[in-house]
Structure 1
């Protein structure tokens, strides 16, 4: 999906070797997606090409304050079946990052879990689409999940709980076997916890142009930091910094590079 593509491009710009599983049609939109991924260093060896249908589209509307509304036509990207995926490629990855689909590809994500090497880290950003399915529906993914990346509204909806502290809800997911839970709270920063530590990390001041992909770009910074074995707090700080850079422009234009990140880290 588009959310996964944002995160993968963000990781690629930070120097991480990346590939993406997705389905496109042989049309102008499919050609554009493949071109943009290639231009940003993302390998296309796991792209699936449909014989018919149309490539998915997302229309985004942004107001004067940078807030956005999205309308999605998933096209053939919602028609992925397990037999179309090269599972040998999947077994070699270090992190598999799941995001949400609108339709049938959700079942394929669950089927794919059986093909993941036990050493592959599964990160999961369910988005509102999957949270609305309810805990029981997404439980197979949560049971295999190592890193859950979720915003506060989604976390509360998942538990149908508007009253309990978000920290308490996040920690209850640790009890269910998830290794790390990250709660994205917009302008209020990020809360994260694992079985050894917890932290609250504030945001960076920036000139907001477009908040589309803010959470996805945070994921890029956090997962990059995870691969580098940074502390939980440092990982959240880098995630927040990457997001602050990304929302200063439209789309992927302002996603920071590895050189820029190294300058920030010092």
Structure 2
């Protein structure tokens, strides 16, 4: 998807959701038609390297239409032009750029989320890692799937994490993707695995925590 090509926005039927992720130079030409299409469709956005290189100003029209945006820590720092690793600050700042929900993944440290009202945290689902290619997209599509089924953020974060955990156990970005019935089965076996809303004390702590592991909480 990073090869040089002449991007044209396809003629799409009505859909509940669109998922926008990494594309190459020239893909921004489709933004005006995409924005028009999104008037009746929800957007999940996981920007790639080229899209991030466009900068915040050029991405703002897309971000303002997004139901959620998801990226890793370094990508968020780059987009927001900051070196801070304060995840309360980063998620809140990212959400302020337009999306209803901002999600930042931080590898083995878990995932942080802000929905404009509450801060959320989801630990990793600890598995042996073979390759991390596709982990971000797996998380985002798992999260989107949960929203599609009208699940709350708390469960959506768990779905995304489980899908991502499955992908990193395989080689390549698609081999480990799991279907809904398998995801539900995994979650049923491990019912205690879930994300949680941060308490007021955690949100206001002077440490502004960047924990090495969620167990410290």
TM-score band, normalised by shorter chain: 0.7 to 0.9
Q: TM-score, normalised by structure 1?
A: 0.65
Q: Evaluate the alpha carbon distance shift between residue 175 and residue 220 of structure 1 in structure 2; reply closer, same or farther with a 3 A threshold.
A: closer
* Equivalences for residues 9-20 of structure 1 within 5 A: none
Aligned match of 2:117 in 169, 193, 196?
Answer: 196
User: Does structure 1 residue 181 correspond to structure 2 residue 108?
Assistant: no
**SS of 1:114 mapped into structure 2:** helix
Q: What is aligned with 2:211?
A: none
Say if 1:198 and 1:232, in contact at 8 Å, map to a contact too: no
Superposed displacement of residue 238, structure 1: 1.5
Counterpart-to-counterpart distance in 2, 1:219 and 1:225 = 10
Q: What is aligned with 2:11?
A: 86
User: Does structure 1 residue 258 correspond to structure 2 residue 154?
Assistant: no
**SS of 1:192 mapped into structure 2:** strand
Aligned match of 2:92 in 168, 171, 180?
Answer: 171
Q: TM-score, normalised by structure 2?
A: 0.79
Counterpart-to-counterpart distance in 2, 1:130 and 1:174 = 17
Aligned match of 1:208 in 110, 129, 136?
Answer: 129
Q: Which blocks of at least 5 consecutive residues in structure 1 are unaligned?
A: 2-71
Aligned match of 1:157 in 62, 75, 78?
Answer: 78
* Equivalences for residues 97-136 of structure 1 within 5 A: 97-116=19-38, 118-136=39-57
Say if 1:96 and 1:123, in contact at 8 Å, map to a contact too: yes
- Structure having the larger proportion of residues in strand: 1
Deviations 1:84-106 (A, max 9, x none): x214x1xx111111113221122
Q: Evaluate the alpha carbon distance shift between residue 163 and residue 105 of structure 1 in structure 2; reply closer, same or farther with a 3 A threshold.
A: closer
Counterpart-to-counterpart distance in 1, 2:83 and 2:154 = 26
Q: Which blocks of at least 5 consecutive residues in structure 2 are unaligned?
A: 189-217
Cα-Cα RMSD: 1.8
Aligned match of 1:140 in 61, 75, 91?
Answer: 61
Deviations 1:223-256 (A, max 9, x none): 1111122221221112111111111111222222
Say if 2:64 and 2:98, in contact at 8 Å, map to a contact too: yes
Counterpart-to-counterpart distance in 2, 1:187 and 1:104 = 34
Counterpart-to-counterpart distance in 2, 1:104 and 1:136 = 17
